[in-house]
């Protein structure tokens, strides 16, 4: 067991989960760390080390340097496509088979879905989705002019990744569903997030304000430790299977 994982806190958390009615699980990049997906701020290795991801994941960066930003997303797609879900993803999928769970993720890597959580609410979109920047409404990927990035053959609009950039509103339905889950759960399990990006980072606090017990799982201190009733200091791939047993499955 992870060195600084408190056995009493673990046992108390096990009991809370077993007795919970509605569980909200909020995940961040840390849940995919053991799959080898660099966390949002780690993705800047090698070629990308001289850039700040929060500067690249912005619309004005895309308008200024479309080829650079588009290549950054292609690079991240390659990284993620080579990974597989880890025991943390599988454990969360297994929990949903036993309890009423709403899974809300800040991640864009699609690993929850590949681990068997088809209804993962993606607050920040998906790395592998595409959409258009200022499209004409008839932009069609099938006829797009290839390039970095591809462009609409009709209006010349740039294709862009289907993620939520900083300064952009979250998808309305996803945000509504996540906030509803936060306000109606009796247990909020926060896994692998630094708790720095809003409005996602405000959701555990909203759950607590509505009477939920908040458990944080993270090997390192996070901005949400203050909100937590219980902090389990360990890696998600180790802690989650200890909390309720995770169904191992073949990597998708
Ligand atoms: C919004 C998709 C309304 C893109 C992402 C100024 C101008 C505009 C907005 C703002 C502003 N100032 C503040 C804001 C709000 C802003 C924000 O919160 N900024 C922060 C930086 C202060 N939010 C927004 O802009 C949001 N929209 O508010 O719209 C609006 C509109 C206009 C103006 C104002 C408001 C949109 C936010 C979405 C941004 N898009 N991703 C892409 O991926 O390219 S966010 C991106 O970063 C990720 O998706 C993720 O959500 C976030 C990183 O957070 P984490 O997931 O927590 O990852 P991190 O690496 O930080 O931490 C990993 C954790 O895992 C660590 O704690 C580590 O200890 C732990 N860990 C490591 N290993 C393990 C582990 N845990 C468990 N097990 C392990 N093994």
d(CA 190, CA 194): 10
CATH of the domain spanning 1-36+84-124+170-252, picked from 3.65.10.10, 3.40.50.1220, 3.40.47.10, 2.60.40.420: 3.40.50.1220
Mean pLDDT of all residues in 116-131 = 97
So which residues are the catalytic ones? 124
pLDDT band at 248 (very low <50, low <70, confident <90, very high): very low
Of 5, 25, 27, 30, best ligand 1 pocket probe by most atoms within 8 Å of the beta carbon: 30
* Partners of 232 in beta bridges: 217
Binding pocket residue ranges, ligand 1, CB within 6 Å? 28-30, 33-34, 39-41, 54, 57, 106, 108, 124, 163-170, 192-194, 196-200, 217-220, 222, 235-237
Among 216, 170, 215, CA closest to 193: 216
Among 93, 95, 14, CA closest to 5: 14
Cα-to-centroid distance, 197 and ligand 1 (Å): 3
Protein residue with least CA distance to atom 24, ligand 1: 166
Q: Report domain extents, the chain.
A: 1-36+84-124+170-252
Cα-to-centroid distance, 224 and ligand 1 (Å): 13
pLDDT in tens, 66-85: 999 999 999 999 999 999 99
pLDDT at 130: 96
Cα-to-centroid distance, 20 and ligand 1 (Å): 28
Query: Hunting for tokens 């969360």 — which residue is that?
Result: 92
């Amino acid at each position: 067991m992870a060195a600084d994982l408190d056995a009493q806190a673990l046992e108390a958390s096990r009991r809370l989960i077993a007795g919970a009615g509605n569980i909200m699980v909020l995940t961040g990049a840390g849940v995919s760390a053991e799959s080898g997906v660099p966390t949002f701020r780690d993705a800047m290795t090698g070629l990308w080390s001289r850039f700040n991801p929060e500067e690249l994941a912005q619309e004005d960066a895309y308008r200024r340097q479309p080829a650079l930003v588009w290549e950054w997303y292609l690079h991240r797609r390659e990284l993620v496509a080579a990974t597989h879900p880890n025991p943390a993803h599988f454990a969360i999928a297994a929990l949903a088979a036993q309890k009423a769970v709403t899974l809300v993720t800040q991640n864009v890597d699609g690993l929850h879905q590949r681990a068997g959580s088809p209804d993962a609410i993606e607050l920040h979109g998906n790395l592998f989705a595409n959409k258009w920047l200022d499209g004409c409404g008839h932009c069609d990927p099938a006829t797009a002019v290839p390039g970095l990035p591809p462009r609409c053959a009709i209006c010349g609009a740039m294709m862009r990744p289907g993620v939520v950039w900083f300064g952009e509103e979250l998808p309305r339905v996803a945000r509504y569903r996540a906030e509803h889950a936060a306000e109606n759960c009796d247990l909020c399990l926060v896994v692998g997030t630094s708790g720095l990006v809003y409005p996602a980072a405000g959701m555990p606090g909203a759950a607590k304000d509505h009477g939920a017990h908040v458990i944080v799982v993270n090997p390192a201190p996070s901005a949400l430790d203050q909100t937590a009733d219980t902090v389990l200091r360990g890696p998600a791939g180790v802690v989650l299977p200890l909390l309720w047993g995770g169904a191992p499955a073949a990597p998708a």
